[in-house]
Amino acid sequence: MSDAATLLPPNATQTERTLEQATARIGDVPVPIATLWNADTCPEHVLPFLAWALSADNWDSNWAEEDKRASIRDSIAIHRVKGTIGSIKQALFVAGYGDAEVIERFGWETYNGAQNYDGSITYVEPDHWAEYRIRLTRPITIEQAQQVREILTNIAPARCHLKALEYPEALHLFDNSILFDGAYAYGVA
């Protein structure tokens, strides 16, 4: 036993005394807290724990290191405005879908002569007030569509529902150069 002062009572067991000695110098171990809580300086193998601690809603272990760091960096800003159009756009941007357009109140235009009928407006049965659509400028795979849906589930208000995930361009032509293996949808995912 060392000569150091102890906090244990006189009737402490030998196991308790040994444990106290083993942990007596734990404060001498350098723990770079400032490094660990910073997305830019945190070691890569610790990033998933930092993402969990900061409640990063969007996380994919297959992302590049810089994308993981960006997701952690933006986590606090996203949580400040979570549930708004801005947070949805920001979360999609971080995940690599910066070209996404959020469309609310689709079909609420009335054909009353106030708008020019030039084909830019679709006159259809309007969406419910709590429904929204996401339009991407590039095609995505079914797997990417699932990732976008997961992001939207984490970020969008619980009362809102995704009506459609659409993109105007097709990734491929029907020229028998691809297989119909279910990896891609055709216009709407």
Q: Is residue 24 part of a domain?
A: no
Number of structural domains in the chain: 2
Q: Are residues 146 and 106 in the same domain?
A: yes
Do residues 25 and 4 touch, judged by C-beta distance below 8 A?
Answer: no
Look up residue 181 and give its DSSP letter.
S
| Residues 116 and 165 sit within 8 Å (Cβ to Cβ) | no
Please check whether residues 132 and 175 belong to one and the same domain: yes
35, 89: one domain: no
Same domain, 115 and 185: yes
Tens place of pLDDT per residue across the chain (189 aa): 455 688 899 999 999 999 998 888 888 888 788 888 999 999 999 999 999 999 887 788 888 999 999 989 988 887 888 888 888 888 888 888 888 888 877 665 555 666 666 666 555 566 767 788 888 887 777 888 888 888 888 888 888 888 888 877 655 555 565 566 666 655 555
Which pTM does this prediction carry?
0.53
Same domain (yes/no): 151, 59: no
Q: Is 154 among the domain residues?
A: yes
Helices and strands in the chain, H and E counts = 6, 3
| Domain residue limits at 148 | 83-189
Given a contact cutoff of 8 angstroms between Cβ atoms, the answer to whether 148 and 119 are in contact is no
Residue 158 lies in a domain: yes
Residue 181 sits in the same domain as residue 115: yes
In a domain, 132, yes or no: yes
Do 123 and 68 lie in one domain? The reply is: no
116 shares its domain with 72: no
CA distances from 109 to 23, 112, 122, 144, 166 (A): 70, 9, 8, 31, 20
> What distance in Å separates the CA atoms of residue 33 and residue 12, rounded to the nearest whole number?
33
